[in-house]
Chain A
Amino acid sequence: EPEVTQTPSHQVTQMGQEVILRCVPISNHLYFYWYRQILGQKVEFLVSFYNNEISEKSEIFDDQFSVERPDGSNFTLKIRSTKLEDSAMYFCASKAGPYNEQFFGPGTRLTVL
C-alpha cells in the first residue's frame, strides 16, 4: 500500500544551524503539507503546497521556513536558522482525493540543542 515516507527519523542540530527535512509523498497525490507537533501538544498546520507553490501557510511558517519540491517526487521543509522552540515532530502529509483525506508520514523528530 502506498505510503508517505520521511527522512531522517531523528535529527539533532545546534541552535542557529540550518536543517532540511525530507518527504516522499504518495506518488499520485497533488497536495502536500507540513505539520508539526510539539511534545504533549496538538498537531499544528505549517504549510500546504499545490501546483509548485504555497497555497496556504500558518503564522508559524515565518521567513525562517521554506518548502520545495525539487524533483517531482521529494518535498522538503527547510528551517534556515533553528531555534530551541523548533524542537518538535514534523509530519509530512499528502492529499489522497477530493474529500481531503490526508495521509501522514511517520514524522521526523527534530531536536535543537
Chain B
Amino acid sequence: TQLLEQSPQFLSIQEGENLTVYCNSSSVFSSLQWYRQEPGEGPVLLVTVVTGGEVKKLKRLTFQFGDARKDSSLHITAAQPGDTGLYLCAGAALSINSNSGYALNFGKGTSLLVTP
C-alpha cells in the first residue's frame, strides 16, 4: 500500500489569507486526485493531475504535481469561509496490468477552517 502523508492535519486561517497544503509519498503514482469532503458526505473530485510538474488552476485553487509524481500541493489564494472543509489527496499506483482497477490510496486529509 502506497502511503500518502498530508500536512498540515489541521489549518485555521482568516478570510483573505493564502495557504498551501501538501501531499507527500515515497511512491510514484500514475495520477493523483484532490477531493473535498464535507462531514457525512462523499468525496467530491476537484482535480486530477497526471504529468510530472503539471499545474492546474481551479479559480482560486492551484494544484501542482511534483516532477517525480510522488507529491502534490494545493494552494488557495484569498481563502473564503466557503473553502472550509476536508481536503483529501488520493493516488493511483502504477500498474502493468491494463485491466487493473487502479484503486485509490487516500491520505488522512487536511481539515481547513476559514473564519470571516
User: Which A residues form the contact surface with B (CB < 8 A)?
Assistant: 4, 31, 33, 35, 41-45, 48-51, 55-56, 58, 89, 91, 95, 99-107, 109
Contact = CB atoms under 8 A, between A and B. Distances in A.
B27 interface: no
B2 to A, nearest CB: 11
Given A42-B109, A43-B88, A43-B90, A101 B103 contact: no
B43 A91 contact: yes
Interface residues of B, number: 26
B82 interface: no
B108 A99 contact: no
Contacts of B43: 43, 91, 104
Given A43-B90, A99-B31, A99-B50, A105 B103 contact: no
Contacts of B92: 100
Contacts of A104: 35, 42-45
Contact of B101 (A33, A91, A109): A33
B102 A100 contact: yes
Instruction: Name the 10 nearest CB pairs between A and B, nearest first.
Output: A48-B101, A104-B42, A55-B101, A43-B106, A45-B103, A100-B92, A56-B101, A42-B108, A100-B102, A104-B43
Contact of B99 (A41, A55, A101, A103): A55
Nearest to B49: A99
23 contacts: A33-B104, A42-B88, A43-B88, A43-B90, A44-B106, A45-B105, A50-B101, A55-B99, A55-B100, A55-B101, A91-B43, A95-B101, A99-B50, A100-B30, A100-B33, A100-B48, A100-B102, A101-B33, A101-B48, A102-B90, A104-B42, A106-B41, A107-B40
B107 interface: yes
A89 B37 CA distance: 13
B31 A100 contact: yes
